[in-house]
Amino acid sequence: MNINNSSLSNFDHSMVTTAFYIDGYKIDKNLGLVKRIIVRSRSIIGNIGAGIQILFGGNITIYTQMCEKTRDEAYTLMCKHASDIGGNAIIAVQYDTNEIAQGISEVLCYGTAVVVSKVE
């Protein structure tokens, strides 16, 4: 997936948190929910590679990499959504993952976009 990061060039990812506040900052404006979803399927090649890894036990790196990439894409799109509506921070961030059909998973990343300013 090719994500246009032009609106993210000034977005500070240290201002994204699972907490409901950011230390040293006050919330000036609540812009509401921002969310993005990615739906991904496993490839036949990936399933074969994972099947071989399953035989030996341990971390199934093919699936781990797929899950990480999917979460990263959902996160990046959520941040872009927040930036596009004027937010400079996101609070209360969470992920949800569901299998919607055999071999097809969705990852939802969501939070509350806010405008914050440093407390003086």
Q: Is 103 left (phi over 0), alpha (psi -120 to 50) or beta?
A: left
1, pLDDT greater than 50 = no
CATH number of the domain where residue 26 is located: 3.30.110.70
Does some domain include residue 93? yes
Does some domain include residue 7? no
pLDDT at 2: 45
Does some domain include residue 63? yes
- Structural domain range at position 51: 15-118
Does some domain include residue 61? yes
Model pTM greater than 0.85?
no
Count: domains in the chain: 1
Does some domain include residue 54? yes
Does some domain include residue 8? no
56's CB contacts (< 8 A; 6+ apart) are none
